[in-house]
Amino acid sequence: MAKTSLDIKPLAGALGAEILGVDLAAGLSDHVYDEIHQAFLDHLVIFFRDQTLNPAQFTEVAKHFGTPGAYPFIESIEGHPEVIEILKTEDDTIYFGCHWHTDTTYMEKPSLGTMLYALETPESGGDTLFANMYKAYEALSGGMKNMLDGLHAVNSSEQKDLGGRAQKMAELNALKDTYVEESEPLEAVHPVVRTHPETKKKSLYVNGSHTVNFAGMSEAESKPILQHLFEHMKKPEFQCRFRWAPGSIAFWDNRCTQHLAINDYNGQRRRMHRITLEGDRPV
């Protein structure tokens, strides 16, 4: 791990670290942003506390790490095309992102990473779990690695195993009038084992929300192996858990992590701003 002047506190053994004493609105030097980027690569997901950012400032912070891009199913907030709002009100019971997934794997160029900024949080509940897909790959047997290396998989936005379009639209409807329905599900084929473009490490790159089948195989043939992988990825030793508070920011690497928003706070309000960074084609 590279030497750093930042105050970094690892959150768990598998992944995740809080970066303390940084005011992202203060205008940090390129050197400090380089150190934050290295911490992002080292820990896969990084967290900041007690931030105060308007949408323009949030966007400027994100630009230090990549190119903010549009999310395909949710309208951006007015005047800020890179920022979307994720809201669960006191009356909502279904929540967006409440299944293990990697963001936008149904796109030809899935997102590099995602930044999520908490504006309102429940008194209790609403944590997010993250999982390290480097470790998930490394823990596989040699025989499983040999079988998976070189395979590709079909990824769809329809969430077939989670209830298909009906489930997807129920989650998007929970965001009120901000969702945009696609005419056809988005699909893309990606390697089952992905090599990270910066660290050069291998990780598992299938997920239970979007991966449908192995390319060249039927869904029935693919399902037993995929279900085994989906369960394997959720092992506690691959995970960290983050407790939100207003002003918290999480920034995760979609190329080597999965995450799950825990929906355990019905009757309470949770409001976030989110920016997704454009990525490249997985290899």
How far is Cα 214 from Cα 228, in angstroms, rounded to an integer?
14
Architecture of domain 7-277: 4-Layer Sandwich (3.60)
Residue 152 predicted with pLDDT over 50 = yes
Residue 4 predicted with pLDDT over 90 = no
Choose the catalytic residue: 190, 259, 270, 273: 259
How far is Cα 106 from Cα 260, in angstroms, rounded to an integer?
17
Higher pLDDT, 5 or 187: 187
Q: What is the largest CA-CA distance in the chain?
A: 54
Q: What is the pTM of this model?
A: 0.91
Of the candidates 187, 190, 106, 100, the residue with the CA atom closest to the CA atom of residue 153: 190
How far is Cα 194 from Cα 149, in angstroms, rounded to an integer?
9
Mean pLDDT (whole number) for 140-155: 97
Which percentage of the chain shows pLDDT scores above 70?
Answer: 90
* Per-domain boundaries in the chain: 7-277
Choose the catalytic residue: 43, 92, 99, 101: 101
Mean of the per-residue pLDDT values of the chain = 91
Choose the catalytic residue: 196, 255, 270, 274: 274
Choose the catalytic residue: 92, 99, 103, 161: 103
Q: Is 259 a catalytic residue?
A: yes
Q: Identify whether the C-beta of residue 209 lies closer than 8 Å to the C-beta of residue 260.
A: no
Mean pLDDT (whole number) for 132-139: 98
Q: What is the per-residue pLDDT for 164?
A: 43
Mean pLDDT (whole number) for 156-167: 64
Mean pLDDT (whole number) for 73-81: 91
Mean pLDDT (whole number) for 101-124: 97
Higher pLDDT, 159 or 230: 230
Q: Is 274 a catalytic residue?
A: yes
Mean pLDDT (whole number) for 31-40: 97
Higher pLDDT, 161 or 261: 261
Q: Which residues contact 263 (CB under 8 A, 6 or more apart)?
A: 88, 94, 95, 98
